[in-house]
Amino acid sequence: MTSAEPLRREELLEVLRTRWQATYDLQLVQRRGRLYLHVMWGYLEQQSFPLTPQAFEEHLEELVGSLNGLGVAAQVRHWLQTTTDKPRLGKALSLPLELPAGRASEFML
């Protein structure tokens, strides 16, 4: 898979499971005019996880669409494959997204 290709939901699921043996939740977070991708500490295989497998896949599909629309697929792919950190209870992993010129204003409110 080349870094220029769009992300796919299946790819994200595979990377999460391969890297951390768990399907961690991913969230886009806006803070102080910046956009971040968070790998949360909650994961699909937890008994207390609030989403059903189908709802989680729908959530990921929407997230993938946003990431691809923002033009950050290669950045996210590289970071997920190379980060040495792991989500821990109460501490998400955080990737500050470097948005292409003009994309930030389209997304930020």
CATH number of this structure's domain 9-103, picked from the four choices 3.30.43.10, 3.30.428.40, 3.20.20.10, 3.30.160.20: 3.30.428.40
Q: Which residues of 12-24 are buried (b: 16+ CB within 10 A; e: fewer)?
A: beeebeeebebbb
Other CB atoms closer than 10 Å to residue 66's CB: what's the count?
14
Please name the amino acid found at residue 11.
E
pLDDT digits (tens, 9 = 90+) for 70-95: 999 999 999 999 999 999 988 999 99
pTM value is 0.85
Q: What is the DSSP string of the chain?
A: --TTSPP-HHHHHHHHHHHHSS-EEEEEEEETTEEEEEEEEEETTSTT-SS-HHHHHHHHHHHHHHHHHHT-HHHHHHHHHH-----BTTB-EEEE--PPTTHHHHH--
Residue boundaries of the structural domains of the chain: 9-103
pLDDT digits (tens, 9 = 90+) for 6-36: 999 999 999 999 999 999 999 999 998 899 9
